[in-house]
Amino acid sequence: MSVILHAFHDQAAEAQRLAVALRVPLAFVDVHTFPDGEVLPRIPPPASTTIVYRSLNQPNSRLVELLLSVDAWRSNGVERLVLVAPYLPYMRQDIAFRSGEPVSQRVLAGLLDDAFDRIVTVDPHLHRTPSLETLFPHCECVHLFGSDALVSRLRAAPPSPDTLVVGPDIESRPWVSRIADPLGLDHATYRKVRRGDADVDIESPFGLAVAGRPILLVDDICSTGGTLRKATAILRSSGAGPITIFITHMLGDTRVVESLLQAGATRIISTDSCPGPTSEVHLADLVAQSLKGLS
């Protein structure tokens, strides 16, 4: 057996979809937890090329389990170790914003760069970092877009041609255009002024006509929902039609989802990078395409 997919039991459904898309066998890492909280992973028999599915939302315990498992994979003969981590954590802390803080992005990237031969991720939240290659100088890295998975889904059930694709801030422009352009839809981005983690103001582009139009509101990450709530409220006050929110990484819990619905959203969907009640857009086919040739 030359290629196998390994995963952890808490992400079994997502891993199973990827295994089917890749047409490779799937086996699971068992993790024993000691009374003091330490963990001991035990990997199944690997292959010379082992692909590991481990999305890293709720990252702290998952990172420890993953990094400990790396030693077992290497000790048991894995020659090519590939990490599929649709969500990469700690990317936002890319500088020390205050004295005494770490550059968390650099720390995490260094650990993963040393551990894996290839890393596949989706919409990493990079601000001042120009590319993944900057973070991972030693291993191959692949940057996928969650919006491409949504476009594939929308081609099967096309939205109304007068749908307006909206981003809540300038940073969302790449995702907005990757959705709107292939589908021939109009698009626009708002301007965000952030004053705190959950304190933001949104400014609408001058002359943006939204009255009566279906809206697809797009963002890469939702933690507290503050930005999307403000954008939804502005769209509603401007007379927008039904508002669907699409998020690549839905980190917020059900309370955040409920707050977005209360703000006026009609529907909220996200990818399965962070499994939950909104994770309708599956990434397996998109990821499998990036791994073509390994299986």
Q: How many residues does the chain have?
A: 295
Q: What angle do CA 132, 133, 139 make, to 5 degrees?
A: 105
Q: Could you identify the residue written with the tokens 């919409």?
A: 123
Catalytic residue (choose from 125, 192, 213, 230): 192
DSSP bridge pairs for 248: none
Provide the greatest CA pair distance for the chain: 62
Closest CA to 9 of 43, 46, 38: 43
Closest CA to 270 of 198, 164, 159, 175: 175
CA-derived radius of gyration, the chain: 20
What does 80-131 look like in DSSP terms, one character per residue?
EEEEE-SS--S-S--S--STT---HHHHHHHHHHHH-SEEEEES---SS---
Burial class (CB in 10 A: 0-12, 13-18, 19+), 32: exposed
Tell me, yes or no, if 292 is annotated catalytic.
no
> Six-digit token pair at 193?
């002024």
Residues in CB range of 41: below 8 A, 6 or more apart = 29, 30, 31, 32, 65, 68, 69, 72
Which of the residues are catalytic?
192
